[in-house]
Amino acid sequence: MISSVTFVLDGRLQSVEFGPASGLSPTTTVLQYLRGLPGHQGTKEGCAEGDCGACTVVLAEADGQRLRYDAVDSCLLFLPMLHGRQLITVENLGAGGRLHHVQQAMVDHHGSQCGFCTPGIVMSLFALAHQSVPPSAADIRSALAGNLCRCTGYRPILDAASAPAPPETPDLFTRDEPRILRLLQEIPAGGVVLSSGGQVYLRPSGLDEALHYRKEYPGAVIVNGATDVALRVTKNHQHLPAILDLSGVEDLRHMSAGDRGIALGAGVTIARMREWCAERMPTLTVFTDLFGSQQIRAMATIGGNIGTASPVGDMLPVLMAHDAGILLAGPSGVRSVPAAEFVVGYRKTACAPDELISGVQIPPVPAGTEIRWYKISRRRDVDIATVSAAFRLELDGTGNVHRTILAYGGMADRTARALRTEAFLNGRSWARAVVQEASELVEREFQPLSDVRGSARFRRVAARNLLTKFWTDTARVDGGGTS
């Protein structure tokens, strides 16, 4: 067992000890660490909640024989999560005595004024430049959605992002990858246990080890990406006595496809799921464009998003519409719980005290089945849903509804299906008049709350209108089912 954290920074291995001498605790964020580190204050603190992107850094980790580069928000990253990875900051881009080509593009296209946001933007562009295929205009906008700029405006930044790479690419980071990979291999394998300042931080390397800690520390806060839990530390200043961090459990990162559909481990990030499922099951990825920002998607995991049991979580309605099973690992093995039955109350799940979410199983989608996802929020990107919905429609040969699933978020104390409305629709024609009648049932089926994101009345009307929109998006255009 390892009692320190080792990672690559500035091209060499760095080991960090925790305790009074260092002033570091297991819940010190990477942003706080860098701000106190000489020569690394280029990483800025803006919101400290993952919205502005000023603190963006890049994490690189082994992906086969290459490194995968992901832009992440350092304000949401606990320092122990760096173990076994390379941390790249804006200062590293200027190594070698010249600007990196993404920095030079920002200069050439006048992409910076006050400069506070610029380091984070540069790091997002750096990660984008290291993706495997040249970015499209949509890729560029998606990569920058998590970076706010209040004075320059985005046109020159988009111009900089679109500038072609110089002919001397690959850059020095790509050329240095073999050496970095060797350094990463030198980092001791295995779990990490840290104890400092009344905190215990457990980062197991295997599922059995994780289940052991789950039993030994039943009150530990479980994190798998920490994009939600980190806010309890940075914004609410909570002291977390015990943390069980699953981000190092390789057993939870599996992705496979077969006759039974798709199996995804709980530790698979939203970004990786988005890439892997894009062609295998595209209906599963529709929500990812509006799931946080690229920095959030690179750290947030399937298990983390499900495990929060948030009434407005983006993923659970989609899993409900796909008839997915939530896989729970425990001392007796793995059991499957239907996604619609996983959340049993406000922030409460069917996961037993000695169990962990190990993954999801998504069956194949039959031909002709329509699955759509919708999200209403105050802004398009990087926002929490006011109301979300995932709908599934299966018609019989006559144009009548064979089966439907209407899963809503933001309408109750948990993500829930509109069961009475589903029962009303089943067996009826998929026609405008029928759907209008069904939408009135949806409005009466839930009793949502009013909060800062929307009133109860707004939510009911929105839920009703989303069902109507679903009909509009799926109604047949040959004259059947449109009257």
Residue 220 in domain: no
pLDDT confidence of 181, banded at 50, 70, 90? Answer: very high
Domain with 468, as residue range(s), is: 370-474
Question: Of 362, 391, 424, which closes a domain?
Answer: 362
Same structural domain for residues 9 and 154? Answer: yes
Residue located via tokens 């004024």: 113
Q: In this structure, what token pair is assigned to residue 236?
A: 């609410």
Same structural domain for residues 353 and 393? Answer: no
pLDDT number for residue 94:
84
Residue 242 in domain: no
Q: Give the C-alpha distances (Å, rounded to integers) separating 292 from 70, 88, 147, 179, 189.
A: 15, 22, 11, 33, 32
pLDDT confidence of 476, banded at 50, 70, 90? Answer: low
Does the N-terminal peptide bond of residue 170 adopt cis geometry, omega within 30 degrees of 0? yes
Average pLDDT, the chain: 93
Please check whether residue 415 is in contact with residue 348, taking contact to mean a CB–CB distance below 8 angstroms: no
pLDDT number for residue 1:
60
Q: What is the pLDDT of residues 12-54, one digit of tens each?
A: 999 999 988 888 999 999 999 999 999 999 999 999 999 999 9
124-128, 167-171, 189-193, 444-448: which range is least confident on average? 167-171
Q: What is the pLDDT of residues 293-340, one digit of tens each?
A: 999 999 999 999 999 999 999 999 999 999 999 999 999 999 999 999
Q: What is the CATH number of the domain that holds 410?
A: 3.30.390.50
pLDDT number for residue 482:
36
Same structural domain for residues 7 and 112? Answer: yes
pTM of the model: 0.93
Q: What is the pLDDT of residues 190-242, one digit of tens each?
A: 899 999 888 999 999 999 999 999 999 999 999 999 999 999 999 999 999 99
199-208, 273-282, 356-365, 468-477: which range is least confident on average? 468-477
| Mean per-residue pLDDT, 422-445 | 96
| Mean per-residue pLDDT, 178-199 | 93
Question: Of 344, 362, 380, which closes a domain?
Answer: 362
Same structural domain for residues 45 and 25? Answer: yes
Same structural domain for residues 433 and 326? Answer: no
Beta strands across the sheet bearing 416-417: 370-376, 387-395, 401-409, 416-417
pLDDT at 291 over 60: yes
Question: Of 318, 335, 362, which closes a domain?
Answer: 362
Query: What are φ and ψ of residue 194, in 5° steps?
Result: -120, 140
Same structural domain for residues 351 and 375? Answer: no
CA separation for the pair 243, 105 (Å, rounded): 42
**Overall domain count for the chain:** 3
CA proximity to 206, closest of 155, 238, 152, 246: 246
CA proximity to 80, closest of 185, 195, 179, 220: 195
pLDDT number for residue 444:
92
Q: What is the CATH number of the domain that holds 172?
A: 3.10.20.30
Which is higher by pLDDT, 392 or 479?
Answer: 392
Same structural domain for residues 333 and 398? Answer: no
Same structural domain for residues 34 and 177? Answer: yes
Q: What is the CATH number of the domain that holds 354?
A: 3.30.465.10
Residue 236 in domain: no
Residue 213 in domain: no
Same structural domain for residues 342 and 419? Answer: no
Same structural domain for residues 419 and 439? Answer: yes
Q: In this structure, what token pair is assigned to residue 420?
A: 């009475």
